[in-house]
Structure 1
Amino acid sequence: MIDVHRQAFKEEAYELLSELETSLLELEETPEDSDLIGRVFRAMHTIKGSGAMFGFDDIASFTHEVETVFDMVRNGKLSVTKPLINLTLAARDQIKSMLDASESGGGADLTATVQIIAGLRALAGAEAPAAVTHQETAKPAAASTRITYRIRFAPCRGILGCGSNPLNLLVELRELGVCNVIAQTAGVPELEELDPESCYVYWDVILTTDQGMNAIKDVFIFVEDDCELSIEAVAEHDGYNSDEGYKKLGEILLERGDITTEEMASVLAEQKRFGELAVQKGIVTENKVEAALVEQRHVQAVRQEKQTSDAGNSIRVPAERLDLLVNLVGELVTVQARLSQTAAGRADLELSAIAEEVERLTGELRDSALNIRMLPIGSTFSKFKRLVRDLSSELGKEIEMTTDGAETELDKTVIEKLNDPLVHLIRNSLDHGIELPEVRVAAGKPRHGTVHLAAVHSGDSVLITIRDDGAGIDKEAVRAKAIENGIITPQAELTEKELFNLIFAPGFSTAKKISSISGRGVGMDVVKRAIEALRGTIDITSVYGEGAKITVRIPLTLAIIESLLVRIGRDFFMLPLSLVDECVELTREDVARSNGRHLANVREHLVPYIPLRERFLIHGESPEIEQIVITEVNGSRIGFVVDQVIGEHQTVIKSLGRAYKNVEGISGATILGDGSVALILDVPQLVQSVEAEAA
């Protein structure tokens, strides 16, 4: 059970570290934002408290140092500066290293830990407290006024099962000031009914402290969803005054909600009720007394309703379970196709009706299962902000990154595989695109360069654009480098699009010097291969002197796609429907008119085509009228000649075995309704291989 809780802590900590990085980068832009400061502090406090609870003592102790500094920031004793942000980002990376080390069984770099702590203490100066262990709580300097708070902490019955220990929280409360704790045990059942893993106790606490309301809330910050918590300031003073007096016992019980006005009235039956006395004296009306009681009950009801509605809104599910679910749905889609094909071959209306209903339900289940795996791409975008910040400093440039469409959703697997190609593209924009500040000023541009990252849905795909306002791409430099590398001849006439596509050739680079960022000619060809492996496309446009834009088109999911089913002889193939433009006929007369060249005249435009029967060495006689499936690859129209186009098909992608993994032009396979196998064509790779052979 402990290992389960430790794993849950690590998952939560990784999420908090991602949020922490985003908050710090936003805080650097708006250093006076108290909400962001609070978010950073709460993230640190949660990691510290949970880390100590589950045995990550090194993380808790280290995080406490950062939390202490941000407590000073929160209390206005320290300003948010670039050195503070730098150190806190370094601390965030160090905490991640500690978590990674706990996974591998190694240890994090202690030198980095010591250096970061020393830097934080130097920033805090004389205000910083001495080093403490993770069990201690940082206390800011005393405020001028002490306040007494009434706290009711009622943990949910299953809080112990979540790995939280309420007694640790009470110990932390005692460290804030003068504290009295009263345990309420009326809910503890008889021994034979008692569940040792359940919490039946709640606590009433009276605390006098100069730390403020936020310090109390921070104690309960990582169990706030697992308890009922009320904190109320009941007195403000520099110290109790014996002449001052305080509320009567009945008032306190009434305010706590431990008794109702009716119960209080029954005890004080021989006296006039408080409300009656107040009405008799003309102080308040009967309606006002009733309104006070309604307010009390209303607030309690609203709180209860919110707690009920907030509970269980989401659950954490391992990614492996989602992958298994999608795989099972894929199998179901295959079975459903078989059922539909069987029903179509029989004159049985009842079976056909059942097949149609199963098809409808399978489609809804497929969409739901795929939607579960969808994640907003904003989580990836936030990582790139840190990348831009760090690399711009390394390059001596002033660059800011803007984003749009962070809420656009993609399959979890696609997002993971998309991360590295996007990193390469952004690094190239920073290094090759954005100029140094003095160069930009001389060109009449602002000192700050901008890299804009955007995502938007487009049909069954997502368009991701990376646009910068830098120097753009010099077409003549690209042409000269391509000639130098032997990629094209000096006489070659290329369109602008074809010229820019040369940048994706292996080993191509126009950088005049090699840097730690780029310039070795390794990257852009890797990017293109990675994008094409995701069945995506990449396109470049640029205006020299004004900037460049790279557009990446990626399918929403890799698990199930819409395809066009075709046949050659007895073999079946699939082409991704997103790449298909149209289908036209190819007669033997058309072939004869082309004089041996693989060109088709489609509405007065010549379209080159690839005869797949010849390409795959499929024996047999081709039909009198063949079909050309015309696709668009890298902005060019390319046809694929097949015997017959059968129609659209919902394709569940199956990976090929080791023996067939590197077969050129094939990206996977699927199972048809009759149990036969259809191969999925890798259209961009087929076109690339044919072009390479022609060259």
Structure 2
Amino acid sequence: MDEDLALFYEDSSDQLQYMENALLDIIQSGITKESIGELFRAMHTIKGIAGMFGFDEIVHFTHKAESLLDNIRQDKIAFTDEIQELFLQVKDHTSKIIEQSVNEDGLDEQSISEQESLISIMDLVMSKSGVAQSVDEKEERVSLDFNELVSLENHDMWHVSIRFADDFFTSGMDILSIFNYFNKLGYITFNTPIVSNIPSLEDLDSLKTYIGFELEFQSSASKEDIEEIFEFVENDVVLFIFKSTDEKAYDELFNTYEGLEEILLGFGIYAKEDLEEDKVTQKIEKPIQATLKVPKMVKKEIAKSLRVDSAKIDFLINKMSEVVIANAKIETLVSQSDDSELIESVDELKLLLEDVRDNIMGIRMVPVEESFIKLRRIVNDTAKKLSKEVEFIIEGGETELDKTVIEKISDPLVHMLRNSVDHGIEMPDVRKKRGKSGDGRIVLRAFTDAGMIVIEIEDDGAGINKEIVLKKAIEKGLISAEDNLSDKEINNLIFEPGFSTASEISDISGRGVGMDVVKSNIESLRGSIEVNSTELKGSCITIRLPLTLAIIDGFLVQAGDTKYIIPLEMIRECIELTPGMRETMKENSYITIRGQVLPILDIKEHFREKCYPNLRENIVIVQFANEIAGLKVDELYGEIQAVIKPLGDIFSKLKGLSGGTILGSGEIALIFDIVNLIENKIERG
């Protein structure tokens, strides 16, 4: 796919997402003028861009949808539930034919059949409402018969002056559509193009818009109605709209555009008794060549952005990772030097590199809202299929996460949301019997906590039936009947491999199907997942993920012969282990700090490190969510930037590690998975 087609595909995908969002807003909050405007704008923009590439099938289809939406905008057709469902199908079909067109495959037979069917439905809707027009009427009306002229006798005559921004065409708009809208409101009795701004052939830019128009328009429409023609391009045009009898408005127009008065006089559109005779003669001889001073376009301030291939960003991040490693080596060498200027320069370089690193990493950070919004359709379609009413709420959409992570959690989120609708939310009649609203509620929220992003999927459904979960787990051999499990452990049985099968979907009223795969995918991202549930009240699935997969700020420690890195944002404090603390830990592996009892995990013992006589040991207190624990280590070295490298399959069974890194000395340091370490310690007591 060449660059232009790729840009068309991306822009069209964005427009279709806006369209889907507007449709789902209508479902949830009811129809508004703005939501219909979003639908119309999406179809209109795609039609315009597709026309530039010669995708006639797309143009034909979107034009039909645009016509139906235009009638809905004018209140000629009611926007019913059936039409809402029709436009969801229109959106899906448009997406399909765009993909087939840009891949140069052309429309397949199924798509052609679907398109014909959808067009027939749209035609039927318009014909039943008495608004369908012939092709000739919809595309162009170029003449008026005597009866039509008589009917215009009491209509107002308007003068409309139009100048377009340079990038009008590249924004996907087309001038023909604007004139078609004029013809729907009334009749253009005069129209002349203003072409004096067209440069010489050598300076001509085919993507720029140089032409303008002066036209007389007869209609019963108000000024506001005429302005609505330009609703979607208001930032790309300079307009003057006034009644043809308004002398002051003409004066303002002529003061804006030098030479325009002579042009209109030449065509007999405007007459003024005190104009000099030679001026009239001049404008008759050269009506179009007058020089116009076009006012500078004033457009709304928008964010400046640049589309960049993600592969280029990945390359940049990889190179930044190498720079971090190289800088660590330099710092190691400099630490052995007594040259104060060299040390100062390296410290300054470190600060600059950290700033560059943070900005580069920030390129890949995107708001989760873009991904979350796409899930609205999943919830809507699943609920509709099951005849359930579900309110879907997104919270914390502005929270940012690495784009790679977002892409990898998309499928797990889809799976969990479908489960929430299918097995969590009850049928409306069941909910009402339980004293609940007939409409179920699912909340998808995101927020940051201790250097991680937390994603929660919460519903007010049936919750997990723990008795059934235990029974199924015993049948599967996952636990024995003698095991005494906590509520949390029972809930998390749904993540066990083999616990859920397709035949058991209807037997477990909370979750289950494929959740082992979901957990595996989350853990592959160095994340964690757990579920909390109250029967008949609802469930909440909590996912914790690192903000980025590439470079972290860490704290370097040593236990035994191995160096480890602790993510800096999870560290609360470091304390030296006192003799009194040692005595306490010998008995129960807990210590009390400022009145708070903390579990302590001995890193050397956990990873079976060699133990050497050491007069000094330290406790690093770490926290995630509401869980706090201490890690017992030997040495504390300080803060460090670490490039995270995967450990490989050989370490997949080793819990508590999320990766490794290369230190400036060339040594390998292992990076702690703090969430796993704390959970492991709490479970083992």
Does structure 2 conserve the Cα–Cα contact (< 8 Å) formed by 1:31 and 1:81?
A: no
Q: Secondary structure at the match of 2:320?
A: helix
Does structure 2 conserve the Cα–Cα contact (< 8 Å) formed by 1:154 and 1:201?
A: yes
**Distance in 1 between residues matched to 2:458 and 2:126, nearest whole Å:** 40
- The match for 1:82 is 81
Distance of aligned partners of 1:632 and 1:492 in 2 relative to their CA distance in 1, 3 Å threshold: farther
More deviation in 672-681 or 79-88? 672-681
Does structure 1 conserve the Cα–Cα contact (< 8 Å) formed by 2:9 and 2:99?
A: no
1:502 aligns with 2:493: yes
Distance of aligned partners of 1:505 and 1:79 in 2 relative to their CA distance in 1, 3 Å threshold: same
1:484 aligns with 2:475: yes
Does structure 2 conserve the Cα–Cα contact (< 8 Å) formed by 1:42 and 1:218?
A: no
**Distance in 2 between residues matched to 1:410 and 1:558, nearest whole Å:** 10
- The match for 1:264 is none
- The match for 2:464 is 473
Distance of aligned partners of 1:410 and 1:516 in 2 relative to their CA distance in 1, 3 Å threshold: farther
- The match for 1:239 is none
Q: How does 1:30-429 map to 2 (within 5 A)?
A: 30-106=29-105, 107-108=107-108, 109-110=110-111, 111-126=113-128, 127-129=130-132, 136=139, 148-156=158-166, 162=170, 177-178=187-188, 180-189=190-199, 194-195=203-204, 197=206, 199=208, 201-208=210-217, 227-235=236-244, 247=247, 251=251, 254=254, 256-258=256-258, 304=296, 306-307=298-299, 310=301, 313-429=304-420
Letter in 1 for 2:160: R
Following TM superposition, by how much is the alpha carbon of 1:663 offset from its aligned partner in structure 2, in angstroms?
A: 7.7
More deviation in 419-428 or 174-183? 174-183
1:16 aligns with 2:15: yes
Distance of aligned partners of 1:164 and 1:431 in 2 relative to their CA distance in 1, 3 Å threshold: closer
Does structure 2 conserve the Cα–Cα contact (< 8 Å) formed by 1:497 and 1:540?
A: yes
- The match for 1:279 is none
Following TM superposition, by how much is the alpha carbon of 1:615 offset from its aligned partner in structure 2, in angstroms?
A: 5.3
Does structure 1 conserve the Cα–Cα contact (< 8 Å) formed by 2:464 and 2:510?
A: no
- The match for 1:242 is none
Distance of aligned partners of 1:209 and 1:115 in 2 relative to their CA distance in 1, 3 Å threshold: farther
**Distance in 2 between residues matched to 1:517 and 1:6, nearest whole Å:** 47
Following TM superposition, by how much is the alpha carbon of 1:646 offset from its aligned partner in structure 2, in angstroms?
A: 3.4
Does structure 2 conserve the Cα–Cα contact (< 8 Å) formed by 1:169 and 1:219?
A: no
Write out per-residue CA displacement over residues 266-320 of structure 1, whole angstroms, 9 at most, x where no aligned residue. xxxx9899xxxxxxxxxxxxxxxxxxxxxxxxxx99x84843x737733333322
TM-score by length of 2: 0.78
More deviation in 459-468 or 561-570? 561-570
Write out per-residue CA displacement over residues 374-420 of structure 1, whole angstroms, 9 at most, x where no aligned residue. 22212222222211111111112222112222222222122111211
Distance of aligned partners of 1:78 and 1:387 in 2 relative to their CA distance in 1, 3 Å threshold: same
Does structure 2 conserve the Cα–Cα contact (< 8 Å) formed by 1:46 and 1:222?
A: no
Matched residues, percent identical?
34
Does structure 1 conserve the Cα–Cα contact (< 8 Å) formed by 2:168 and 2:209?
A: no
Q: How does 1:655-666 map to 2 (within 5 A)?
A: 655=646
Letter in 2 for 1:58: E
Q: 1:526 aligns with which of 517, 533, 540?
A: 517
Write out per-residue CA displacement over residues 71-99 of structure 1, whole angstroms, 9 at most, x where no aligned residue. 11100011111111111011111111122
- The match for 1:26 is 25
Q: How does 1:530-609 map to 2 (within 5 A)?
A: 530-567=521-558, 571-577=562-568, 600-603=589-592
Following TM superposition, by how much is the alpha carbon of 1:255 offset from its aligned partner in structure 2, in angstroms?
A: 5.9
1:451 aligns with 2:442: yes
Aligned length: 636
**Distance in 1 between residues matched to 2:25 and 2:345, nearest whole Å:** 55
1:464 aligns with 2:455: yes
Letter in 2 for 1:122: L
- The match for 1:4 is 3
Write out per-residue CA displacement over residues 623-677 of structure 1, whole angstroms, 9 at most, x where no aligned residue. 54677777779988888776645344222223568x8796855654323223444
Letter in 1 for 2:402: D
TM-score by length of 1: 0.77
Q: Secondary structure at the match of 1:79?
A: coil
Q: Secondary structure at the match of 1:539?
A: strand
Distance of aligned partners of 1:514 and 1:138 in 2 relative to their CA distance in 1, 3 Å threshold: farther
**Distance in 2 between residues matched to 1:525 and 1:43, nearest whole Å:** 40
Distance of aligned partners of 1:33 and 1:195 in 2 relative to their CA distance in 1, 3 Å threshold: closer
RMSD: 4.6
More deviation in 562-571 or 95-104? 562-571
Distance of aligned partners of 1:170 and 1:83 in 2 relative to their CA distance in 1, 3 Å threshold: closer
**Distance in 1 between residues matched to 2:79 and 2:98, nearest whole Å:** 27
Write out per-residue CA displacement over residues 474-526 of structure 1, whole angstroms, 9 at most, x where no aligned residue. 22222222222221221211222122121211122499854699999542111
Does structure 1 conserve the Cα–Cα contact (< 8 Å) formed by 2:5 and 2:102?
A: no
Distance of aligned partners of 1:484 and 1:453 in 2 relative to their CA distance in 1, 3 Å threshold: same
Following TM superposition, by how much is the alpha carbon of 1:56 offset from its aligned partner in structure 2, in angstroms?
A: 2.1
Does structure 1 conserve the Cα–Cα contact (< 8 Å) formed by 2:462 and 2:509?
A: no
Does structure 2 conserve the Cα–Cα contact (< 8 Å) formed by 1:669 and 1:679?
A: yes
Distance of aligned partners of 1:165 and 1:461 in 2 relative to their CA distance in 1, 3 Å threshold: closer
Q: Secondary structure at the match of 1:451?
A: strand
Letter in 2 for 1:89: L
More deviation in 542-551 or 567-576? 567-576
Does structure 1 conserve the Cα–Cα contact (< 8 Å) formed by 2:450 and 2:623?
A: no
Distance of aligned partners of 1:581 and 1:522 in 2 relative to their CA distance in 1, 3 Å threshold: farther
Does structure 2 conserve the Cα–Cα contact (< 8 Å) formed by 1:155 and 1:202?
A: no
**Distance in 2 between residues matched to 1:138 and 1:652, nearest whole Å:** 67
Letter in 1 for 2:258: D
Following TM superposition, by how much is the alpha carbon of 1:459 offset from its aligned partner in structure 2, in angstroms?
A: 3.6
Following TM superposition, by how much is the alpha carbon of 1:573 offset from its aligned partner in structure 2, in angstroms?
A: 4.0
More deviation in 641-650 or 550-559? 641-650
Following TM superposition, by how much is the alpha carbon of 1:689 offset from its aligned partner in structure 2, in angstroms?
A: 11
Give the unaligned 5+ runs of structure 1.
236-244, 262-269, 274-299
**Distance in 1 between residues matched to 2:95 and 2:254, nearest whole Å:** 49
Distance of aligned partners of 1:90 and 1:147 in 2 relative to their CA distance in 1, 3 Å threshold: farther
